[in-house]
Amino acid sequence: MCKTDPLDVEAWVKSSVTSRRLGRHEEAERHARRAALLSPALAFAHHALGAALHCQGRRDEAMQAYNRAIALKPDHADAHYLLGNALLEAGRLAKAQASLQRALDLRPELFEALSDLGAVLLMMGQPTAAQAALQRALALHPDSPEVLANLATLFEADGRVDDALALYQRALSPRPGSPDVLGKQAELLEPTGRLGEARHELDFGFARDPAHPMLNLVAARLERREARHAEAEARLEALLARPLPETTRGEVHLLLGQIRDRLGRTEAVLHHLSEGKRRTAAAADPHGAGRRRFLETIDFYETLARHPILDAAPDPAAGNGASPIFLIGFPRSGTTLLEQILDSHPALCAMEERPASARLEQAFLELTGGLPQMPRTLDEERLAALRRIYRDEAARHVSPCKGGRIVDKLPLNTVRVPLLWRVFPDAKFILAIRHPCDVALSCLMQSFGPNDAMAGFTSLENIAEIYARVMRVWEGFADRLPLQWQAIRYEDLIADVEGETRRLLEFLGVPWDDAVLQYTHHARQRVAIRTPSYHQVTQPIYQHASFRWKRYEDAFRPIILPMLQPFIDRFGYQE
């Protein structure tokens, strides 16, 4: 039709769409540009151009075309959806959410927008909203591999490993060789220690797409586990040379920084870590809102620690001797190693970074109204209700162990100490300590889940600022409140596991059991370890991470070291 009537704009648009569907993307671009030239105010021409550019990986140009289509036709649901899809790939999650939601406002049953919205919300750490969107999408297409895989990721984040694997298998039924689903499944199998199964999924996926980003990222993690660092480095370098979604590119930079640190290539490490943090932070918290909320939380608990509600003498017997043991400190201070050691004891059950304390905090604020209207005291009935709420939430995540006690491991519960002590006055607190510079470097090296507490871990300087703030408020709590607490230094623990563990168990009032020395075997039996240390705590004790920061001392000296020096001195790390 275009040959017979070269001025037929509609024919050029249709030809562009047809060429794109046939995989002739450059031809689709030419035809769409011709249509846009003939009729610059035709939204569908710019929409077709955006789609053709998007298929060629020219994402920024595609977004310009989508925005032009939307400016011409604001109710163009497909253009809003495709713009949201491109923004998702670019890691601009908040804007992607807005575009996808606009598409759904215009067309509520637009399946693709629902599916992508679920993925975006999942990446933004909004599991409840993500599940709602994905369930709506699944109702429209019950066998959609993409939706099933995203729901599996949701279950995985909630610790429902078997349910997640079942959904991945269901997602693979219509497309047995889907590299996207195989990559997600392998990504779950690797940290759960099912390495043979993970390799099988990778091999199956590589047979179909050797360059697939997620498959290669998981393969590099397996190579790291096997100390094949040079192979992992080469694989990740090749990945960075190809187009990648921004969040994946960030993960690749972080892993490459870790691997080059192990290879002793320190000159390139901080560049990769900083790039990784910058890209992942730009996706998860582009405006720093999470960091601000966390600092506001610290302010709240500093005020609470001086509030009359804490002045009433609590009944130490209120917990009936079964109050939780709170394992606190700062991320990357050895809390995962401590948790695994304690969880190996038959009288202790570790609960790994679950939201029981967050649920308690929410209930406390609902009960008291928060500051400044908070009552001066809490009666025992209300405190008992708060204890039940905490225990009910904890029971969702950890099974009772022969009458034993829960070890609630959540490092940044440090800031919630006043509330935890007020509700559980007989609770014991274990403060995990590690050289502050090593903590800051290790936090820079790791990829954390999307949450307010770790949203500010974007640079060594930001991490050091948050560390100093958290540890200062801890010192205030420890001075003001009659806490039962004991510090344990990571460096002392790895130097003398038995001696330090005996000292810790004595403080907890728990008898010695040789099982705690078999913690690496115990860790391998766990279904999943949900922290960045998952690949380390299943190995024998190693020393290479102690005082690692000295290799990067020049980066610490100008600004970071002065911020951390008071805590270096206080915790006994003076040289």
Residue 134 near residue 154, CB atoms below 8 Å: yes
Four-CA torsion 188, 190, 192, 197, nearest 10 degrees = 90
Average pLDDT on 258-269 reads 94
Average pLDDT on 259-263 reads 95
Report pLDDT for 321.
62
Locate 432 and state its tokens: 């995990």
Report pLDDT for 90.
86
User: Where exactly are the structural domains of the chain?
Assistant: 289-486+518-570
> In Å, what is the CA distance from 69 to each residue of 54, 63, 79, 345?
14, 10, 7, 63
Report pLDDT for 526.
58
Counting residues of the chain whose pLDDT is more than 70, the rounded percentage is 92
Report pLDDT for 537.
46
**Alpha-carbon Rg for the chain in angstroms:** 26
Instruction: Compute the C-alpha angle 550/551/553, nearest 5°.
Output: 55
Counting residues of the chain whose pLDDT is more than 90, the rounded percentage is 73
Q: Is the pLDDT of residue 20 over 80?
A: yes
Q: Is the pLDDT of residue 385 over 70?
A: yes
CATH fold of 289-486+518-570: Rossmann fold (3.40.50)
Question: Which of 40, 35, 29 is CA-nearest to residue 10?
Answer: 35
Segment 28-64, tens digit of pLDDT: 999 999 999 999 999 999 999 999 999 998 999 999 9
Report pLDDT for 1.
44
Segment 139-195, tens digit of pLDDT: 999 989 889 999 998 888 777 889 999 999 999 988 888 999 999 999 999 988 889
Report pLDDT for 45.
95
- The residues that bridge with 484 in the sheet, in sequence order, are 428
Question: Which of 532, 340, 540, 347 is CA-nearest to residue 454?
Answer: 532
Average pLDDT score over the chain: 90
Average pLDDT on 287-299 reads 88
Residue 101 near residue 132, CB atoms below 8 Å: no
User: How crowded is residue 94: how many other Cβ atoms within 10 Å of its Cβ?
Assistant: 16
Q: Is the pLDDT of residue 533 over 60?
A: no
Report pLDDT for 70.
97
Separation between Cα atoms, residue 364 and residue 543, nearest integer Å: 42
Report pLDDT for 319.
58
Average pLDDT on 360-380 reads 91
Separation between Cα atoms, residue 247 and residue 522, nearest integer Å: 33
Average pLDDT on 14-20 reads 93
User: How crowded is residue 450: how many other Cβ atoms within 10 Å of its Cβ?
Assistant: 18
Encoded amino acid at 186, one letter: A
Lowest mean pLDDT among 156-165, 387-396, 464-473: 156-165
Secondary structure string (H, E, C) spanning 387-453? HHHHHHHHHCCCCCCCCCEEEEECHHHHHHHHHHHHHCCCCEEEEEECCHHHHHHHHHHCCCCCCHH
Q: Is the pLDDT of residue 541 over 70?
A: no
Instruction: State the pLDDT confidence band at 2, using cuts at 50, 70 and 90.
Output: very low
Residue 432 near residue 335, CB atoms below 8 Å: yes
Average pLDDT on 194-210 reads 94
Which residues have a Cβ under 8 Å from the Cβ of 9 and sit 6 or more positions away?
Answer: 35, 38, 39, 42, 45
Q: Is the pLDDT of residue 545 over 70?
A: no
> In Å, what is the CA distance from 337 to each residue of 17, 496, 535?
56, 13, 11
Residue with more model confidence, 450 or 177: 177
Separation between Cα atoms, residue 48 and residue 26, nearest integer Å: 12
Report pLDDT for 534.
47
Report pLDDT for 402.
52
Report pLDDT for 396.
85
Secondary structure string (H, E, C) spanning 168-214? HHHHHCCCCCCHHHHHHHHHHHCCCCCHHHHHHHHHHHHCCCCCCHH
Average pLDDT on 366-377 reads 90
Segment 406-445, tens digit of pLDDT: 999 999 999 999 999 999 999 999 999 999 999 999 999 9
H or E element that contains 571: none
Indicate if the alpha-carbon torsion angle 561, 462, 293, 119 is positive or negative. Answer: negative
